[in-house]
Amino acid sequence: MKAPRPKVLMIAFACNPAGGGEHWLGWGWAEQASKSYDVTLLAWDRFEAAIQTKAKETGVRAVCVGVPAWVNRIGDRNTLGRWFRQLIWHRKVLRIANQLHSENKFELVHQTTFHTFRIPFLAAEWNIPKIWGPIAGGESCPPGFGPWLGKLRTSEAMRGTINRLALAQPGVQRSLRAADALFVSNHTTLDFLPEHCRSRCMVVPPNAIRGELAPPPERASAPNAPLKLLFVGNCVATRAMPLVFDALKQMPKSIWNLKIVGSGAALADWKYDAARAGLNGNVTFTGSVPYAEVARHYAEADAFVFPALRDSGGSGVLEAMSSGLPVVCCDWGGPAEMVDEQSAIKIPVKRPDETIAGFARAFERLQAQPAWRLALGRAAFERARNVFSWERKRELLEKTYGRFLGLTR
């Protein structure tokens, strides 16, 4: 007779099998756990139809929980409203989780999303193994880079203080002490967390690839051809594209061009900054494009640039790697965890002038050495396939869960 599978409760506010970002990852963790465990999933009800459809296919028991309409209206307005909605949702979910636990006797509980330490893991008080994460949120922009952050300059200068206040929340402190294991998105957040919990932490970049990766076609490597740089993502000030503009204006316009795919609050400022730097003829802003068209932009590029000064991950980085593109990013936060020296050029962020010079040197070398550029891209693809597959994340889940459940997997 087959032994019953261990019962696991997963809590994922952000969860949508048909979505992207954290919502897609929230579903992915549950789907992978369901291959070896009896999973009950508590998720936000905004995407209930998609969740229940996939839950039937995978055997996940999904319980979708909503909040009052007035809370959703506040949550849809701004960051503070979203944080308030998540707190209200988690408090409501704890009551439901307690009832489900009394009925099902879960053997392990895992809160996966949102990927932030700011929302307490309320079920961490239970007397069963507790896993929290991946969590992020300890990131802040390095000092001295304020002039490249546009309208966020003042708020980012306050972020360290805000982070420390958030960390001091009693609920957060209880969660950090009670969790048996914590998945942490990057070393920047790990270094921010209290010393007492670091021995229970594992650095786990949250991003994952969609499906199986086919090797991308070999890219052209004509000598002396202009370097085709690409950025894809949400255009927010903390992704500091003006640093790249300052680097590019030091280079002959004949040897490079840059395409920026995406929209967001900083897009108008970036257009102004590019024009002020005299780069208009070489920088193309596409705005938002359908997801199906993004692959074409990756295929046409030579290298992917992601100058984020505060980011816990960056789905565009993984998409670029999956497309066989070398990455140029800051050696800071989540993007720096996703790449290595064989697949990317990581630019130090100790001083702005050194960072700008570092980007310029990276672009010049990528343009002058196409064979090396192609080797970086091949390594980026292999790293995406070998490190960021859901199979690898399932292995991590089974190893971690098995350690606390006394199982050998």
Q: How many domains does the chain have?
A: 2
Tell me the per-residue pLDDT of 138-162, one tens digit each, with 9 for 90 and over. Answer: 888 888 999 998 888 888 888 888 8
What is the Cα 199 distance to its own chain's centre? 23
Give every CB contact of residue 96 below 8 A, 6+ residues apart in sequence.
42, 63, 65
Same domain, yes or no: 299 and 380: yes
**Cis peptide before 114, with omega less than 30 degrees from 0?**
yes
Residues 277 and 302 reside in one and the same domain: yes
**Are residues 288 and 257 both part of a single domain?**
yes
- Predicted local confidence at residue 54, as pLDDT: 96
Q: What is the mean pLDDT of residues 392-408?
A: 89
Give 11's Cβ-side CA count (13 Å radius): 30
Enclosing domain of residue 100 = 7-208+389-405
Q: How many helices (H) and strands (E) does the chain have?
A: 16, 13
- Residue range 389-404: average pLDDT? 93
Residue 327 has pLDDT above 90, yes or no: yes
CATH number of the domain bearing residue 240:
3.40.50.2000
> Whole-angstrom Cα distance, residue 302 to residue 373?
8
Q: Residue 408: pLDDT above 60?
A: no
Confidence of residue 2 (pLDDT cuts 50, 70, 90): low
pLDDT at residue 139, as a whole number: 86
Same domain assignment for residues 163 and 295? no
Percentage with pLDDT > 90 across the chain: 76
Mean pLDDT of the chain: 92
Residue 221 lies in a domain: no
284 lies in the same domain as 323: yes
- Answer yes or no: do 174 and 30 share one domain: yes
pTM above 0.75, yes or no: yes
Classify each residue of 266-278 as buried b or exposed e, where b means 16 or more C-beta atoms within 10 Å of its C-beta: bbebbeebbeebe
Please tell me whether residues 41 and 190 are part of one structural domain: yes
Mean pLDDT of 304-329: 92
For a pLDDT cut of 70, what percent of the chain falls above it? 99
pLDDT tens digits along 165-224: 999 999 999 999 999 999 999 888 999 999 999 999 999 988 888 777 888 888 877 778
Whether residue 243 is found in the same domain as residue 372: yes
Is 218 within a domain? no
Do 75 and 105 belong to one domain? yes
Quote the CA–CA distance of 172 and 184 in Å, as a whole number: 15
pLDDT band at 279 (very low <50, low <70, confident <90, very high): very high
Q: Quick one: average pLDDT of 88-97?
A: 95
In the predicted structure, residue 409 carries a pLDDT above the cut 50:
no
**What average pLDDT does the segment 58-68 reach?**
96
